[in-house]
A and B are shown apart, each in its own frame.
Chain A
Amino acid sequence: MSAPGSQSPVAPDERPGLGESGNDPLVLLELIQRLKVRDVMTADLVTLPRDASMRQAQELMRQKKISGVPVEEKGRFFGLVSIDDIIRALVAGTIHESCGRHMTTKLVVLEDDMPLSFALRYFDRYHYGRFPVLNRDRRLVGIICQRDINRALLVELTRELQRLESVSVQRGGEGAAGSLYLLREFPICKYDFENAGKAANQIKQVLQEKKFATKVIRRIAVAAYELEINLCVHSDGGVLSWQVSSGRAEVIARDAGPGIEDVEWACRDGTSTANEWIRSLGFGAGMGLVNVRRVSDEFEITSKKGSGTTVKAVIYIEGGAA
């Protein structure tokens, strides 16, 4: 089920998709990387078995006001009956025949643990109205359409706005105290070596512009770079954030998985789970967390296997910016 078939294409839109123009707000880019397809899809599915008639499919679509019905039995996904399939059956006089015979079987599907950005690219590339979603066991677990994405993004953006408003209040407090306050977040994608290191490079450039002491810049930059590479190499993707306020710089890397089984072991010299490919790129020697700890005045790591990891490095800034 990988080739595009008659999956009800919608009119193509020539404008660049979300995350493709290079001008999208950072918060949106972070959201579409952080959210998984499973967070957005409709999981409460209306399905039919293969021996249901196309007439039953037509009636179900009318009642539920939906434009496609997945055909599945005990979680096994066989195909999709779309409005196109119904029209073809009406024209050919086969509306009383089984869905199994007239459904679309050449389908493009998504996996539930793919990032939302991947789903958006699929909507742009194939111009279909919906995609069935399978889990790792190839079982049907949901269906995703653009309306699901719009709804999820609105909910998440509202949450993000509330969070930014609270940060803004804190920022006002810092400003009143006369301290410099910088805050920025960077979404980091798994194995994205084309961009790995860019965030740390930008952090260093900002600190140089603000004329911080060379040694302080170096320590913050090394911590940010090591944590950024770690997110790229070891996590399923995450966010690198940094802030400078009240005489201290904080660099925080947080991800949603896969988590570290033995944190103490991971923080030892030379221990790494990186594969040969990562090592061929000059990383994965097991020095990353050790080096972050070396350049930090405060170092914290929390992780749990199967969930996320958060690493916080704090560097004291004596004298602040010039």
Chain B
Amino acid sequence: MTMSEVAEVLQAEVLVKGDGLLRRVGHVMASDLMSDVLLVDEEDMLLLTSLASDQVLRTAQIVGAVGVVVVNGKPLPSSMVNVANDLHMTLATSRLSKYDACVAVHAARHPL
């Protein structure tokens, strides 16, 4: 699935298209702990998080993530959009919870 298709599954609003919208999402990581994100070695990873901070985007850039989706409909600080633009990082928000977002992506990749 591409990042664009995942955003549709998550009913997400894409705030910054960045470089990732057409990239393939091979792995999804759901975490609010950036230290854990830095331990993952997958290059085609999508980060689902309920943490709305600039450091989420900086961490995502370091690990080469496809994009970041902030879940739970959390309001984002305006600085996040600026940082995402600077880093060319795809940034979206979804009203789904982290758990429901994981289930939705899994169901879309492995339909019953």
List residues of chain A with CB under 8 Å of any chain B CB: 193-194, 196-198, 200-201, 204, 214, 218, 221-222, 225-226, 229, 281-288, 291, 294
Q: Decide: A282 and B51 in contact? CB cutoff 8 A.
A: yes
Measured between beta carbons, the chain A residues less than 8 angstroms from B56 are 282
Q: Decide: A197 and B59 in contact? CB cutoff 8 A.
A: yes
Measured between beta carbons, the chain B residues less than 8 angstroms from A291 are 35, 38-39
Measured between beta carbons, the chain B residues less than 8 angstroms from A222 are 38, 62-63
Measured between beta carbons, the chain A residues less than 8 angstroms from B63 are 218, 222
From A222, which residue of chain B is reached at the shortest CB distance?
B38
Q: Decide: A201 and B39 in contact? CB cutoff 8 A.
A: no
Chain A interface mostly: helix
Residue B43 at the A interface, CB < 8 A?
yes
Chain B interface residue count, Cβ-Cβ cutoff 8 angstroms: 23
Task: Return the CB mask of B71-111 against A: 1 if under 8 Å, else 0.
Answer: 00000000100000001000000000000000000000000
Task: Return the CB mask of B18-52 against A: 1 if under 8 Å, else 0.
Answer: 00000000000000111110110101000001010
Measured between beta carbons, the chain B residues less than 8 angstroms from A229 are 55
Please give the distance in Å from B1's CB to the nearest CB on chain A.
22
**A200-B59 Cα distance, complex, nearest whole Å:** 9
Closest 4 CB pairs of A and B: A197-B58, A282-B34, A285-B35, A287-B35
**A73-B56 Cα distance, complex, nearest whole Å:** 52
Residue B4 at the A interface, CB < 8 A?
no
Measured between beta carbons, the chain A residues less than 8 angstroms from B59 are 197, 225, 282
Q: Decide: B41 and A218 in contact? CB cutoff 8 A.
A: yes
Q: Decide: A201 and B62 in contact? CB cutoff 8 A.
A: yes
**A282-B62 Cα distance, complex, nearest whole Å:** 15
Select B55's contact among A197, A218, A288, A294, beta carbons within 8 Å. Answer: A197
